[in-house]
Structure formats: C-alpha cells, structure tokens
Amino acid sequence: MGNISVVPFGPQHPVLPEPIHLDLVIEDEKVIEAVPSIGFVHRGLESLIAKKDYNEMVYVAERTCGICSFGHGMGYVEAVEKIMNIEIPDRARYLRTIWMELSRMHSHLLWLGLLADAFGYESLFYHCWRIREQVLDMIEESTGGRVIFSVNKVGGVMKDMDAAMLARFSEKLGEVEDQVIAVRKNFLYDKTVQLRLRGVGVLTKQQAHDLGCAGPFGRASGIATDMRTRGYGAYGDLEFEPITSNEGDSFARCQCRIDEILQSIDLIRQAMGMIPDGDLFVPVKGNPNGEYFMRIEQPRGEAVYYVKGSGKPYLNRLRIRTPTFANLPGLCETLKGADYADVPILILTIDPCISCTER
C-alpha cells in the first residue's frame, strides 16, 4: 500500500472559479475516494416564494444561473402553465425553443473554451469564446439581454423576432456552424487532446444509470435520454435524436457536447422554418392550484421544477433540481482511480454549475 493522504481541492481553484470543495483521498498519485462539499454561496432563492407572487417568481427562477437562465425561466413557467391548464400560442412555443437552443449553444461553447483552457490550449479557449460571442449577440439582439433575457412570462413570451431578424440569424448561424465544425476538428482529432481525454474517467451505462447521471454526462455513457424528446415547447414538432456515445470517458462527453451545438443549429433552423404567425401570449387569470413536476433539458441535463400552489398568488413550494446536483454522485465515481493530475479535467467534464446548485 502506498502513502495515503487527503488533499483538498477548492473551493477556489484556477480551473474552476466556482466554489466547490472536494476532499480527495489520494494513494500516491491515484484518487481512491472523493467527498464533495458545497454550500459556500447558497442563496435561498426558493424561499422567495413567501415574498414574490407566482408571476414575479419567473424573474427569480431565471436568476438561478447566469448561463442557463432562460431554461430556468422556461421550466418554471411551463410548470405553472401545466397546473393552470394554460395553452400558450404556437408562436410562443417556437420562440421559446429557439431561445432555449441558443442558450444551449452558448453554454456548450463556454464549456468547450473552459475545457481547452484546462488542458492548456489557450488559443482554442479564445476561439470557442469568440464563436460564443456571436451567439450572445443574437440573444442580445432578440431579447435585449445577454445573461438574463426576461422574455418568459406565464402564458407566453414578451418579445418577438420579425422575419428580417430570423433571416439575419439564419445567415449568422451558417457562419457559426462553419466555425464550430472547424473547432470540432481540433477537439476530436488533435493527439494532445485525445491523450488528455481518452479513457479518462470512464463511467459505464449501468453506473451512469445507477448514479442518476443527467444530460450529456449520461448520454456520453450510452443513456439515450433527452428531455426534449418529451415534446415540451415546440420540440414535439421537430425531428431529432439524442446524441449519445458508448465510450463513457471524458472524450465522449466532449464529443457529445460539440455535436449538440450542431444539433442545436439544426433545431433552430427547423423551428425558424416552421414558426407560425400569431400572438405571443394569452391572458392569464387566477392563481395556480395544484402541483406539477416539470422536466426540461437544460444544457447540463435534466432539470426538475416542482411547483405547488393552493389557489393563492404566493406558491406553497418551488423546488428546482438542477442537473449539476444530480451529477455530483457521478462525478465522485469518475474520480475514483483517476490520476491526481486529471482531477480538474474530470470535474470540468460534468460541466459543473455551482450557481445552479446553490440556488
């Protein structure tokens, strides 16, 4: 038996600016156990149901995260709409879907840049973020915001995209697609990248299932689950299949996310081609009375929005189960047996969002 020691990782680390702490039990250079600690910046957003009514809570839900803010707003309003039996206009469904996919693109591009930076490819990091900037520009042009969009409301959406804007975005997406394909080559065929990612942190399909892994983290291990196939928003009208891999290693997680960017471009194009004219929202009367578990596919995976109301403006309960929260047990499992030097990469491959987790 080698020397066993406990090495702290975080809550501040150059690779991951967000606060998570891991006690890594190390035998020589191998990790044999990892115990996570969170809660350094818990914000108690869910407790605001006592002070904000269900309409105001849309803005609170959006502030769960600065990357997947749109999805949090969408998941919350769709849960409330289910409880209140509200059918939103078709145009609103399509607009939500387009913004959701733009969010996924910028989230995955952000992650790709961070991954490139983690394994020492700074120029690739800048390249990814330069592409991401163009996606953010489209979001800003259509919503007025780059971090918090505030376009969702119970009953529909508050902003529209006219035909000229959709045509501009379609052209822009073509440019973004070419750039993503170029970057994809670097990530998937560069020898150094492969050396850092191939065979590192392997999680089998059975392990991923047992550990409750969500999103690209689970799909990279062969779990073909994607909440978008449930058909919320306009996804029920669009053609796509979940992107999966059977390798289950860090490389597979990277590959799934890159391919999901291209899939998002395809979904936006489909949605742009099918978006109907019409109203943006329907008037909403009354208060939610009932409960619902809404599940949507955030960039990091399945997010669950539990909403319970009893006919009053103030909800009884809002609970947001974020994908990172679900992926923590999977992360700890991938760390077991890993080289100490691979720990930062492995943590990044679940695309952790501590802001979401500390909602």
Partner 1 sequence: MIKCPENELIVIEKGELLSKCMEMKVNGLRFSQACAAFYEGNYELSYSFADDETYEYKTLRLVAGLDEEIPSITQIIPTAVFYENEMAEMYGVKIQMISLDYKNKLYRINEEAPLLPKDAKAKNAEEDAGGKA
Q: Which chain residues interact with partner 1 by CB under 8 A?
A: 35, 38-40, 42, 44, 46-47, 209-212, 223-225, 227, 229-232, 236, 292-293, 295, 302, 304, 306, 308, 310, 316-317, 319, 321, 325-326, 328-329, 358
Q: How many CB atoms lie within 10 A of CB 163?
A: 10
Residues 222, 204: Cα–Cα separation, whole Å: 8
Q: How far is the CB of 347 from partner 1 (least distance, A)?
A: 16
Cα–Cα–Cα angle for 302, 266, 231, rounded to 5 degrees = 40
Residues 234, 274: Cα–Cα separation, whole Å: 10
Nearer to partner 1, 61 or 183 (CB): 61
Q: How far is the CB of 259 from partner 1 (least distance, A)?
A: 20
Kindly state the tokens that stand for 81.
Answer: 């709409």
- Residues 264 and 243 sit within 8 Å (Cβ to Cβ): no
Nearer to partner 1, 181 or 224 (CB): 224
Residues 38, 19: Cα–Cα separation, whole Å: 7
Nearer to partner 1, 109 or 238 (CB): 238
Nearer to partner 1, 43 or 130 (CB): 43
Nearer to partner 1, 116 or 220 (CB): 220
Q: Please, what sign has the CA dihedral across residues 279, 107, 13, 31?
A: positive
For tokens 């600016």, the residue is 17
The DSSP H or E segment spanning 210 is: helix 205-210
Nearer to partner 1, 110 or 304 (CB): 304
Q: How far is the CB of 249 from partner 1 (least distance, A)?
A: 21
Residues 352, 4: Cα–Cα separation, whole Å: 27
Q: Which residues pair with 338 in a beta bridge?
A: none
Q: How far is the CB of 75 from partner 1 (least distance, A)?
A: 13
Nearer to partner 1, 201 or 323 (CB): 323
Q: How far is the CB of 321 from partner 1 (least distance, A)?
A: 4
Q: How far is CA 280 from CA 87, 98, 100, 158, in A?
A: 12, 14, 16, 7
Q: How far is the CB of 145 from partner 1 (least distance, A)?
A: 29
Q: How far is CA 36 from CA 39, 87, 180, 252, 351, in A?
A: 10, 42, 34, 24, 15
Q: How far is the CB of 12 from partner 1 (least distance, A)?
A: 16
* Residue-level length of the chain: 359
